[in-house]
Structure 1
Amino acid sequence: MKQKVVIKSNKYGLIVHMDPEGDYTAILEELKEKFTESARFFKDATMAITFEGRVLTKVQEQEIIDLISDIAHVHIVCIFDTNENTERLYQRVVERNLEDMPKKEGQFYKGTLKKRQVLESEKSIIVLGDVEFGARVISKGNIVVLGTIRGSVHAGAAGKKDAFIVALSMKPQMLRIGDTDAQAQLIYVRKDEKPEAKIAWLDGERIYIDPLTDQDW
């Protein structure tokens, strides 16, 4: 009998492949069965998830996330598609942050930060959304934005010079690492420039912004 659900796991998270032609209710039942059997392997883990095989509605995505969280006690922080660039970012985010960050309120922020909103954290923080113009994110550690930065971000706010800032698209109003501000010409983005994941890092007294794929972490 053909499996309607195949679950793969690695140190980056979970990949759930679902039969594109299978009945959705039957898929839910098989998901429930598989995660019940494997709950002891995932209990209290913090990870992201990727859905493959079929297009899900937002309601279906949330239903599956709730099912997995309730049965396997998995803390799912975000959903990723199978885009290659996003996958690279995901791997770096997890390797450099999730494994070293205990699960604590405030280290993951889900939603878009709008004008005049300020988000501050004692630890590295991952924003699951955009930072709009006029919004600010301040962290004593690293800042990862799984969206676009249009506002102001300050990583290493306690003087940490090896902090970094990562975003899927970086068009910041202000960028600061430690006690150093990025020069205006660095954060200027041409209108015709293709959005891509970038990393901002401090080398001496200068902040560099490079495509994330250029970094050999």
Structure 2
Amino acid sequence: MNSTVIPAARRAVRPSARWAARLLSVALLSGAAGCGGGDAAAPPDLSAPPTNVRWLPFQGVSLPHTDQGPAAETDGAATSFEHSPIGAGVAAVVHAVRLSIADDGQWSSIAAREVVPGPAKDEWAVNRVQLSISGPADPVYAPRLLGYRITGYSDQRATVDVYTEYSDSSKAVNHTIVEWFAQDWRLRLPDPQSTTRPIDPVAELPSDTVKLEAPK
């Protein structure tokens, strides 16, 4: 961007005009410097959908496998998600459902690889030991995925609302958090002392929901 130069030979310029010229020069230089800010990184697109979505069954529930993850599965645990908003969204969906329906032989592996360590995970494990899930989810209670909505995102943490539907056509939203831990997105379980409801009923999905609808 070119700036206007005021010739020094103009001795007849009044002081007020001279100051105006200097201010104009400063403004032009500032504008030129501002033009160099075009290289700033654009904010991440939180509404971009995952690509190449495939649906595979887990415990009677269809879960997504996409280009953004999971890229690996070991002992029931799904891992290796892309470090991006899409990877975070898909991880939140996959982790939340797998953890809730894993059978007695799977849950410890899933918790070890898909959940952030801490008091919340420890308390969840204590409670899970007292339950028994020996087979696929009952179709009456099994969730069907509808999509997700990222409500906050950084390279280290994302808040993701996961939307599901049930056999009676009721819908719910699961408010989840995933964190970038050990080079992967993992689920952060709610603090044991938290009074915030992790799941709420909903009538409709928000318009900016990323559609990730499982087949019926």
Per the shorter chain, which TM-score range?
Answer: under 0.3
TM-score of the aligned structures, taking structure 1 as reference length: 0.22
**Rg comparison, structure with higher value:** 2
Which structure exhibits the higher relative contact order, with contacts defined as CA atoms closer than 8 Å and separated by 6 or more residues?
Answer: 2
More strand by share: 1
TM-score of the aligned structures, taking structure 2 as reference length: 0.23
